[in-house]
Each structure stands twice: as structure tokens, then as C-alpha cells.
């Protein structure tokens, strides 16, 4: 069975500080991977997707970047956090019947 693990579970960071969030999927070879962001009370917004190692496509510009250093790993990062980056970050993989399966998410608070 496939499992998806996101880290950390939660972060409290200062404006202007760097950020790195991670996601690992096990049990699935060459998965399509996605990053979504959900502001508190807001819509799920797709940020990035990746179909293979080293290849990442940006969907919306939020002063964030993503990388796929390994087949099973997807990293979201920024060098300088903004207040507007606060929210719930979700990593997902594309499973059976083209369905997205989400990790447990990382709750980010920027102060």
C-alpha cells in the first residue's frame, strides 16, 4: 500500500525567514506529485506539480519554489517568508482513477 508522509506537522516562523517543507511517498514508483495551499477558510490552490525527478511545473506564483530531488520526494521552499504564506500546505500523489490522495499536511504560521 502507498503511504505519503509530510513533514513537519506544523511550523511557526518569522517573516523573512526561510522555509522548507517535505513530502515522501512510499509504495508507488514514479508518482505524479502535487503541492496545494489552503489559506485559513480558503480554497485549495494548486501550487506545483511534478511528473518525474528534476521536473517541476509551477501553477501559481506565490514566491515559493519546489524541487523533486528523488523519485519519492517533493520539497517546497522559500528563502523569505511573507505573512501571506500562512496556511495549510498539502502534498498529494495521483493514484488509481486519476484521484488525488493527500498527505496529512503542514500547518504554517508566519508571524
Kindly indicate which of the ranges 17-25, 63-71, 79-87, 96-104 contains the residues binding other proteins, using the contact rule CB under 8 A. 96-104
Handedness of CA 59, 34, 94, 104 (dihedral sign): negative
Residues with Cβ within 8 Å of 110's Cβ and at least 6 positions away in sequence, in order, are 13, 14, 15, 81, 82, 83, 84, 85, 86
With cell 500546505, the residue in question is 89
- CB-wise, 18 or 42, nearer to other proteins? 42
Stretch that binds other proteins, among 19-27, 61-69, 71-79, 102-110 (CB under 8 A): 102-110
Phi and psi at 83, nearest 5°, equal -55, -35
How does DSSP classify residue 40? T
Kindly state whether residue 12 participates in binding other proteins, applying the rule CB under 8 A. Answer: no
Per-position x/- string for 31-50, each x denoting binding to other proteins as judged by CB under 8 A, each - no binding? -x-x-x-----xxxxx--x-
104 lies in the binding site for other proteins (CB under 8 A): yes
Provide the binding-site residues for other proteins, judged by CB under 8 A. Answer: 32, 34, 36, 42-46, 49, 51, 57, 59, 90, 94, 97-105
Amino acid at each position: 500500500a502507498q503511504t505519503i508522509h509530510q513533514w513537519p506537522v506544523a511550523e511557526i516562523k518569522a517573516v523573512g525567514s526561510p522555509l522548507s517543507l517535505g513530502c515522501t511517498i512510499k509504495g508507488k514508483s514514479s508518482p505524479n506529485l502535487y503541492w496545494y495551499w489552503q489559506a485559513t477558510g480558503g480554497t485549495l490552490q494548486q501550487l506545483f506539480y511534478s511528473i518525474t525527478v528534476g521536473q517541476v511545473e509551477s501553477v501559481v506564483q506565490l514566491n515559493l519554489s519546489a524541487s523533486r530531488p528523488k523519485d519519492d520526494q517533493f520539497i517546497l521552499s522559500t528563502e523569505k517568508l511573507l505573512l501571506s504564506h500562512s496556511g495549510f500546505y498539502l502534498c498529494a500523489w495521483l493514484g488509481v482513477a486519476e484521484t488525488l490522495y493527500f498527505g496529512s499536511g503542514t500547518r504554517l504560521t508566519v508571524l
